[in-house]
Amino acid sequence: MQLTEFDAAFRGLPEGYSQGVYEGRRFGLTVRRSEDGRRNSLFARELAGTDLVSFNLYRLSSGKTSLKPCEMSAEKVVSFVLGFQSDRLEGESAV
């Protein structure tokens, strides 16, 4: 799976907890990345609603990327990551 635009957008999301906006709705999300960068996850919850976005992203030794959405379509995950606007910048502390 080649997801260069998605991958760039995901790398731009701050690690840890943050809040932001997607399609005019506020979400809280948590991004986790393993120390070696090969195992990544995102869990997002709509703050004033019931929508969720969740996935795991694996970077394989072959150089390929494996996106594993959690009980939702890959299209929903990709749309969310590309459209999410975080309230804090990469590297900015969550506290």
Instruction: Return the residue matching tokens 């990551």.
Output: 81
Give 43-61 pLDDT, tens digit per residue: 999 999 999 999 999 999 9
**Cβ contacts of 44-49, under 8 Å, gap ≥ 24:** 44/80, 44/84, 47/19, 49/25
**Angle at alpha carbon of residue 44, lines to 20 and 67, rounded to 5°:** 115
Amino acid letter, 79: S
CA distance 68 to 55: 6
pLDDT band for position 1 (cuts 50, 70, 90)? very low
Q: How far apart are CA 42 and CA 52, in angstroms?
A: 10
- Under the banding of pLDDT at 50, 70 and 90, the label for residue 95 is very low
